[in-house]
Structures are given as C-alpha cells and as structure tokens.
Amino acid sequence: MLRRRRTALAVIATGALYLTACGDSAVAPSSVSDVSATSTVVNAHSHTVNIPSSDQMKPADTTYTTSASAGHQHTVTLTLSQLTSIAAGNAVTVTTSVNASTGSHSHDFTFQGKK
C-alpha cells in the first residue's frame, strides 16, 4: 500500500509567516494591524501618525506626515528594517523632522507592533 507523504514549507517574508503544503493552498499570513502612535509632548503639544498594516507587509523606506497640532506638522521616516520589526510585533522609536517655523523642535514616536 502506498502512503502519501505531505511536506509542509514555512516561509517568512517581511515579518509574516506563510504555511503551504503540497496540494493545499497557502494559509493566511499571521495578523498584522495598523499601528497608531502619539508623539512625545514638546512645547505643550503632541502629534499622531498611523502606520498601515499594508506598509508593514510590503516594507520599504517610507515617510509619513504627522497630524497637525499647534499650527504645524512634522514628517517621520521609517526604514524597511524598522517596518519589518514593527510587523514582527516589536517596538521602534524614531524622531520626527525638525520644524524650523515653530521654534526648531522635533518629537519622538514609539510604534509598538501588534501580533
């Protein structure tokens, strides 16, 4: 009697785990959620920014614009490595651009990945 042998393959790509087996379709990637964060308070105000799950699943260096507060915005850039780390459920802290028009300040954001 011939026995059918099933072989499974796990592939980790950009922080997501995909499982496939011969003759079966791929199992959905592990869950990755949008990540929102509020910055540190500087000059009596803070900002927010959202990192979509889609950016975490196909990471590339990406620049985001913060919410407007105290009449201005900042930008924050996350590298491919940082986005991959967030997708894996880790925390990443980054500093925004300096806003020269409002007193030359920046803010820090800590993005905590969700798994």
- Each domain of the chain, given as residue ranges in start order, spans 32-112
Cβ-in-10-Å burial (0-12, 13-18, 19+) of 70 comes to middle
CA 82, 88, 90, 96 dihedral sign is: positive
> Would you state the pLDDT for residue 86?
95
pLDDT one digit per residue (tens) for the chain, 115 residues: 444 444 443 333 334 433 334 443 333 455 789 999 999 999 999 999 999 999 998 889 999 999 999 999 999 999 999 999 999 999 999 999 997 777 689 999 999 998 7
pLDDT score, position 46: 96
What pLDDT is attached to residue 114?
87
Q: Is the pTM of this model over 0.75?
A: no
